[in-house]
């Protein structure tokens, strides 16, 4: 019986076990670092994906609840109802909270560079807080005196920052307001806020001040309940005093629809991160334990029991993994913070942070994965007999991969290269793990490239009106004198055509129409002239070519049960026309309930606005100013358009895709690094023999890099089609979540050169992961390598 049988070293085993664990962690420093860094990156990527997935799940509901959002935002005529009587409406049956009345008006501001912003709703409030619509002041401070304004966070950017100035209109004597803060209203009760006195000072005959009241009700979950609530408000004030209301359900639907489109995207990256985490962590831990069999045999020879051996090697894996997991949680939270901030701004949510249970579940699952990955090979080692463990750990496995060496040795390549190409066949399990890591890394790169290109295509195709450089507004009064209005429109059209710098233009008008089979009003857009720059991207069919034809989005086709070629009856005012559907357009506005047709389909209508594209090197602001001198005497107005606010969401998703892809690629590279480190250390004696026979450091590098090149190539060949298929699966799901099909210009974004380069990404990941151990192997002295076992 061994003198060390029973408890090792006769000391109860605890101290000896700790020394073995500590020694194992310190001996294999590269292995320890790889385990820690691999788990850190895997956990960080999963935390980011999980946090964003939670954040994009009904962001409006969380923001609305935290801010006590307004179920109804009501506008009243101050000439017909007093402020005291409006305040009393907050005590009506069914009203649980109210705020106001606040003075309300609109402005059409111009920034310091002369750019026109959209018309803004402006509300006077003495502070951001209230019983209803408790605003989230994101930056700066609240407006304290006349001449100061707080904007909605969606306007914040390089052109509009704290300290920037805005003129309330483009007239020379218009007041100037200084931006002092940015706030967010989940209820979308206003675009901007200032002091009540400032709102009163900005009032005019064209922009009168009204009263805004905000309400919360006991029953406000459905349209019918809100309609009853609105009727209660209307009955409590004189007839005609209630000018209009805004329902939170409309705001909620728009916010949830935009957020729902990102969920398939987040799920895809989250699944990729989890799968890669399992693969890499399992490979790293399994390799660390598998290369220590001889040491395990020695420990058993000096008295360690199988249970203690298992505990020792599971602990050696868990210590660096636990450190990596802890760092990964911290890194994931740091990386998620700016993305969550962008998410809150894009979707109108409250200030977001990583949900507490994500920080608990992700590390717990990662620790479980590490434990299972370490336990399986450790149990196998614990069951080995002492002599067998020593023999297996010491002797090279000469039987594996010999056929590959013989077959590849016949290729007309340097021997160092063929030796490296055959090396992966000696460890099929380790090679399979490396192959999966490279393949998933390539999947992530392929999917991310296609996703960002599709998102940018969506941004370009979302609303053609927003791409126009200049907008001219027909200011003719909407009186029954259609002849005078038509003449006014013709004069504006002639002025645009004669203006130097005009590249193209078209007229358009919006109107609410009814469509047979639908009880909900439908938004119609009627076009006049050359609409080539105003056409929506077509999902199927073609853009209308004349009167009597209509182009509609997916939502209207689904709601009416129609398809391309079918007729629809459209009523505008008292004029009912039968239009034939000739195309399905990519248009998500108004919940997909829109109709696009030629102005001639409804004779007697005239354009409300003209969208103008200017020639290259022509300043839209200067063009608008010149054209305005002609259009303004006709009662119209010309404005240079600013950038689309919808770009915030596209930028957010692009940033998330790039960040998560870089993290997943890093994890894949670390998986390759780990495998190559194990192979290089196992073959260090063989490398010493090769060096003694004349192998140069450069040939040594070639040998090590060649050992991963084939894996990288195969991983790329597997990953690119898989990433392509994932893009083809996720993008339509994102579109359906947003209530629309997607056109080919958004789906078919890959080209052959891109796919070829993506195929080479597998080789790039593998080679980058192998560079460090290849450099180490080339610098190892021959005598040192020969002495190493």
Domain segments of the chain: what residues? 1-56+262-395, 72-254, 398-462+647-789, 464-640
Question: Which of 12-16, 499-503, 569-573 comes out lowest in average pLDDT?
Answer: 12-16
Sequence-distant (6+) residues with CB within 8 A of 154 are: 345, 348, 645, 648
Confidence class for position 512, pLDDT limits 50, 70, 90: confident
Per-residue model confidence (pLDDT) at position 262: 61
Using an 8 Å Cβ cutoff, are 100 and 211 in contact? Answer: yes
Using an 8 Å Cβ cutoff, are 516 and 529 in contact? Answer: no
Per-residue model confidence (pLDDT) at position 597: 93
Q: Average pLDDT of 708-715?
A: 85
Buried b (16+ CB within 10 A) or exposed e, 316-329: bbbbbbbbbbebbb
Alpha-carbon torsion (261, 264, 265, 270), positive or negative: positive
- Compare 555 and 304 and report the one with higher pLDDT: 555
Per-residue model confidence (pLDDT) at position 214: 93
Tokens of 585: 């357009």
Cα separation, 197 vs 195, in Å, equals 5
Rounded to the nearest 10 degrees, the angle between the axes of helix 415-422 and helix 697-737 is: 40
Sequence-distant (6+) residues with CB within 8 A of 152 are: 182, 183, 184, 185, 190, 191, 192
Q: What percentage of the chain carries pLDDT values higher than 90?
A: 10
Give how far the C-alpha of residue 256 lies from the chain's centroid of Cα atoms, to the nearest Å.
14
Confidence class for position 655, pLDDT limits 50, 70, 90: confident
Paired with 724 in beta bridges are none
Report helix, strand or coil for 354: coil
Q: Average pLDDT of 337-345?
A: 65
Residue 514 has pLDDT above 70, yes or no: yes
pLDDT tens digit sequence for 84-95: 999 999 888 899
Per-residue model confidence (pLDDT) at position 484: 46
State phi, psi for 505 to the nearest 5 degrees. Answer: -160, 160
Sequence-distant (6+) residues with CB within 8 A of 721 are: none
Q: Max Cα separation, the chain?
A: 115
Confidence class for position 772, pLDDT limits 50, 70, 90: confident
Residue 584 has pLDDT above 80, yes or no: yes
Per-residue model confidence (pLDDT) at position 395: 44
Per-residue model confidence (pLDDT) at position 8: 43
Paired with 514 in beta bridges are 571
Residue 736: C-alpha distances to residues 347, 535, 741 (Å):
18, 22, 6
Question: Which of 96-100, 187-191, 641-645 comes out lowest in average pLDDT?
Answer: 641-645
Confidence class for position 477, pLDDT limits 50, 70, 90: very low
Cα separation, 428 vs 400, in Å, equals 9
Question: Which of 479-483, 579-583, 720-724 comes out lowest in average pLDDT?
Answer: 479-483
How far does the chain reach from its first CA to its final CA, in angstroms? 29
Report helix, strand or coil for 462: coil
Q: Average pLDDT of 612-619?
A: 86
| Most trustworthy range by pLDDT among 211-220, 633-642, 769-778 | 211-220
Mean of all residue pLDDT scores within the chain: 78
Cα separation, 17 vs 310, in Å, equals 11
Cα separation, 70 vs 213, in Å, equals 9
Confidence class for position 482, pLDDT limits 50, 70, 90: very low
Q: Among residues 652, 671, 667, 655, which one has the least CA distance to residue 44?
A: 667
Paired with 578 in beta bridges are 569
- Compare 44 and 59 and report the one with higher pLDDT: 44
């Amino acid at each position: 019986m061994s003198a060390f049988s029973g408890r090792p070293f006769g000391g109860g085993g605890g101290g000896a076990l700790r020394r073995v664990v500590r020694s194992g962690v310190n001996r294999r420093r590269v292995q320890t670092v790889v385990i820690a860094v691999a788990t850190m990156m895997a956990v960080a990527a999963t935390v980011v994906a999980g946090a964003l997935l939670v954040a994009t799940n009904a962001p409006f509901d969380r923001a609305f609840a935290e801010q006590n959002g307004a179920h109804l935002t009501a506008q009243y005529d101050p000439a017909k109802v007093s402020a005291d009587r409006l305040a009393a409406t907050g005590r009506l049956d069914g009203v649980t909270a109210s705020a106001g009345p606040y003075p309300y008006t609109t402005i059409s501001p111009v920034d310091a560079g002369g750019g026109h912003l959209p018309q803004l709703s402006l509300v006077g409030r003495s502070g951001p807080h209230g019983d209803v619509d408790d605003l989230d002041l994101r930056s700066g401070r609240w407006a304290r005196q006349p001449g100061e304004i707080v904007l909605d966070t969606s306007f914040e950017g390089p052109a509009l920052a704290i300290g920037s100035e805005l003129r309330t209109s483009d007239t020379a004597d218009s007041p100037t307001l200084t931006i002092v803060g940015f706030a967010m209203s989940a209820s979308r009760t206003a675009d901007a806020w200032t002091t009540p006195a400032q709102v009163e000072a900005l009032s005019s005959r064209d922009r009168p001040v009204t009263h805004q009241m905000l309400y919360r009700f006991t029953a406000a979950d459905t349209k019918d309940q809100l309609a009853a609530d609105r009727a209660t408000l209307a009955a409590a004030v004189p007839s005609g005093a209630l000018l209009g209301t805004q329902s939170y359900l409309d705001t909620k639907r728009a916010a949830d629809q935009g957020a729902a489109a990102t969920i398939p995207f987040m799920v895809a990256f989250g699944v990729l991160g989890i799968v890669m985490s399992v693969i890499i962590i399992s490979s790293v831990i399994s390799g660390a334990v598998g290369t220590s069999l001889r040491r395990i045999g020695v420990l058993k020879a000096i008295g360690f029991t199988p249970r203690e051996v298992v505990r020792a090697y599971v602990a050696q894996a868990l210590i660096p993994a636990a450190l990596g997991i802890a760092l990964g949680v911290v890194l994931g939270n740091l990386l998620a913070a700016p993305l969550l901030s962008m998410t809150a701004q894009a979707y109108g949510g409250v200030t977001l942070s990583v949900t507490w249970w994500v920080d608990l579940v992700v590390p717990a699952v990662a620790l479980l994965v590490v434990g299972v990955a370490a336990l399986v090979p450790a149990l196998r080692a614990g069951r080995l007999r002492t002599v067998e463990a020593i023999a297996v750990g010491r002797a090279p496995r000469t039987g594996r991969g010999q056929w590959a060496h013989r077959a590849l040795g016949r290729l007309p390549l340097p021997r160092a290269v063929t030796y490296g190409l055959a090396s992966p066949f000696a460890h099929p399990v380790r090679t399979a793990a490396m192959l999966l890591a490279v393949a998933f890394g390539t999947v992530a790169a392929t999917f991310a490239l296609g996703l960002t290109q599709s998102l940018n295509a969506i941004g370009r195709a979302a609303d053609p009106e927003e791409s126009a450089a200049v907008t001219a507004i027909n200011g003719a009064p909407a009186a029954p004198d259609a002849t005078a209005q038509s003449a006014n429109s013709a004069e504006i059209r002639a002025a645009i055509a004669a203006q130097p710098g005009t590249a193209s233009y078209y007229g358009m008008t919006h109107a609410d129409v009814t469509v047979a089979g639908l009880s909900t009003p439908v938004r119609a857009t009627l076009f006049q002239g050359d609409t080539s720059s105003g056409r929506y991207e077509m999902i199927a069919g073609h853009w209308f070519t004349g009167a009597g034809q209509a182009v509609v989005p997916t939502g209207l086709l689904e709601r009416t049960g129609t398809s391309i070629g079918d007729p629809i009856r459209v009523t505008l005012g008292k004029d009912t026309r039968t239009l034939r559907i000739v195309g399905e357009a990519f248009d998500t506005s108004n919940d997909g309930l829109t109709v696009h047709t030629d102005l001639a389909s409804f004779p007697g209508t005239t354009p409300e606005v003209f969208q103008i594209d200017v020639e290259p090197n022509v300043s839209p602001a200067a063009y608008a100013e010149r054209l305005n001198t002609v259009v303004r005497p006709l009662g119209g107005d010309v404005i240079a358009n600013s950038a689309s606010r919808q770009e915030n969401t596209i930028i957010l998703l692009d940033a998330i895709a790039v960040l998560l892809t870089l993290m997943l690629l890093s994890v894949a590279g670390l998986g390759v690094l780990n495998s190559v480190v194990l192979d290089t250390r196992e073959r260090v004696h063989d490398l010493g023999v090769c060096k003694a026979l004349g192998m140069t450091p450069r040939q040594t590098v070639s040998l090590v890099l060649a050992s991963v090149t084939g894996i990288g190539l195969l991983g790329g060949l597997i990953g690119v089609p898989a990433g392509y298929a994932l893009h083809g699966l996720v993008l339509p799901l994102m579109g359906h979540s947003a209530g629309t099909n997607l056109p080919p210009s958004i789906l078919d974004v890959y080209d052959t050169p891109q796919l070829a380069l993506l195929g080479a990404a597998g080789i790039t990941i593998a080679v980058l992961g192998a560079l460090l151990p290849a450099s180490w192997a080339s610098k190892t002295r021959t005598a040192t390598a020969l002495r190493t076992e």
